[in-house]
Structure formats: structure tokens, C-alpha cells
Amino acid sequence: MNKMNQLYEGKAKKVFATEDAEKVIVSYKDDATALDGLKKGTIAGKGSINNRMSNYLMQLLEKQGVKTHFVEELNDNETVVKKVSIVPLEVIIRNISAGSFAKRYGVEEGIVFEKPTIEFSYKNDDLHDPLINSYHALALGLATEEEINTIKTMAFKVNEVLKEYFLNLNVKLVDFKLEFGRLTDGTIVLADEISPDTCRFWDADTNEKLDKDRFRRDMGGVEDAYQEMMRRVFGE
Ligand code: TMP
């Protein structure tokens, strides 16, 4: 499969057309942004780590019955995925308080929830991805009621699979963001990526942060954290 014209360039990835109208090639970059793009940098090796980790996790999820966009890894940074139209919602699942949840509700990080939570943000850079509820998403025509129900069910299933998987690697899956897409026949599939950019990972013994928060919060040790997660997943 060959890369043809570039269809899109985002903050962390580029998307290229292929000779197959139903498939595209995603190319992962080392570029990193945070705080709505205000903070910019690069994380050496991030592109290949996110590509390989995301592909591994998507295949794990497929085996557990979660439909994803994954087709084939081409090389360290590039993957063939099914072409989707992205549902403009960021779907966030939380198991432990952190980040914007802790800030919004004035609680400390690290509270373990009895049940995971779900929330949606409206993917719209001009509006800074505002928090939105499912009724608002329906009213705005971002997704149908059936699609929203499917997305909720799939997101919690992803959480169950990944929480257990990461705990076996001595990692707490604190929270994460998912995106979903529609195939041409309307089927909802998990899309985008699952990586240290889009998840919070804490070492289960020390609570050391092993994800992009080290970049967001200028903590240092960013590359080491990504490599440590890679080592735990692939034993490298
Ligand atoms: P938050 O606590 O800042 O709302 O983030 C929740 C989770 O979503 C966290 O694992 C990081 C991830 N996330 C993204 O992947 N992209 C984003 O733009 C934001 C704000 C968060």
C-alpha cells in the first residue's frame, strides 16, 4: 500500500490517501502540543512508540470483540487504517481522579472511583473542545442516540480490557481519551490512538507518572517515561 496525497495534518499525526478509497495511512510525528496547542515541543521517539503501542492495543481490543480502525502496521511510524469519518467527540473515561477532573471539582488527584466515569468533549479547536453532555451532542447533530449508546458501551469495554492489561504490567490506567469513527456503512469503530499521549499511566507501586503529563507539566524525564511504557508493553 502506497502513500498518495496528504489528506490532513494534525498536531501529532499526518493522514495520507492510498490507492484504496476505504483505507488511509497514518504517519505518527514526534511533535507534541499541550494546553490547546499553546505549548509546543518534540518528544524524541514518540511517533514510533505511539504508533506501535496503539497498534498493539487495538489488536488486543479486536481480540476482545471491540471493532477498531486498525488494518496493518507498515513500519515504525506508519499504519494502514480504515478510513472513517470521525465523530467529533473526545470520549474520556476515568478510573482515578486527575487532570481536569481534579481541577474542575477541587479534589486531589489519586481518588480511586468506585465506578469509572465517562464524559464527552466537543472536538472543536476554535471553542477549545468544551465539555458537552450526550443531549447536547444529539441536539447539535454530532451523533445519533444509537451511536452515542454504542460509543458508551464500547468505551467502558475498552476500559475493562485495558485496565486489566496494564495492571498486569504494574501500571494503573488512571484515565484516557478515545475517538470513534464511522465506516462507510455506518459501523462505529474505535479510531485515533491509544498511547501515553492519550492515557494517564501511573506506576502501580510508586504512582510515578509514565505519560504525557510529564511534558504538560514540565516535569522532565518525558522520553524516559515513554520508553518505560514501551519496555513494559513489549519487553524492550
Ligand atoms: P484531562 O484530565 O485533561 O481532561 O484529560 C483526560 C485524559 O484525556 C488524559 O488521559 C489525557 C487525555 N487527553 C487527550 O488525549 N487529549 C486532550 O486534548 C486532552 C485535554 C486530554
Using one digit for the tens of pLDDT, what is the confidence trace for 116-153? Answer: 999 999 999 999 999 999 999 999 999 999 999 999 99
Which pLDDT value is given to residue 45? 98
Are residues 61 and 104 in contact, defined by beta-carbon separation less than 8 angstroms?
Answer: no
Q: How far is the CA of 183 from the centre of ligand 1 (A)?
A: 25
Which pLDDT value is given to residue 36? 86
Which residue in this structure is represented by grid cell 495534518?
Answer: 9
Taking only the tens place, the pLDDT of each residue in 206-222 is 999 999 999 999 999 99
CA distance 49 to 196: 9
CA distance 94 to 101: 9
pLDDT-based confidence at residue 228 (cuts at 50, 70, 90): very high
Which residue out of 50, 122, 177 has the highest number of ligand 1 atoms within 8 Å of its CB and is therefore the one to mutate?
A: 177
CB atoms within 10 A of CB 183: 16
Taking only the tens place, the pLDDT of each residue in 17-44 is 999 999 999 999 999 999 988 999 999 9
pLDDT-based confidence at residue 67 (cuts at 50, 70, 90): very high
Residues in the chain: 236
Q: Which atom of ligand 1 is nearest to the CA of 101?
A: 2
CB atoms within 10 A of CB 151: 23
Which pLDDT value is given to residue 52? 98
Secondary structure class of 152 (helix, strand, coil)? helix
Q: Give the mean model confidence (pLDDT) for residues 7-12.
A: 96
Q: What's the number of CA atoms in the CB half-sphere (13 Å) around residue 141? A: 0
Q: How far is the CA of 18 from the centre of ligand 1 (A)?
A: 30
Could you list the beta-strand ranges (E) of the chain: 6-9, 13-17, 23-28, 31-34, 39-42, 70-75, 78-82, 85-86, 89-96, 112-122, 131-132, 171-182, 188-191, 199-203
pLDDT-based confidence at residue 69 (cuts at 50, 70, 90): very high
CA distance 49 to 189: 22
Q: How far is the CA of 175 from the centre of ligand 1 (A)?
A: 8
The set of protein residues with a Cβ atom below 6 angstroms from ligand 1 is: 92, 98-101, 175-177, 198-200
Which residue out of 108, 175, 195 has the highest number of ligand 1 atoms within 8 Å of its CB and is therefore the one to mutate?
A: 175
Which pLDDT value is given to residue 8? 96
Look at residue 236 and tell me whether its pLDDT is greater than 80: no
Element (H, E) at 168: none
Taking only the tens place, the pLDDT of each residue in 151-191 is 999 999 999 999 999 999 999 999 999 999 999 999 999 99
Q: How far is the CA of 177 from the centre of ligand 1 (A)?
A: 6
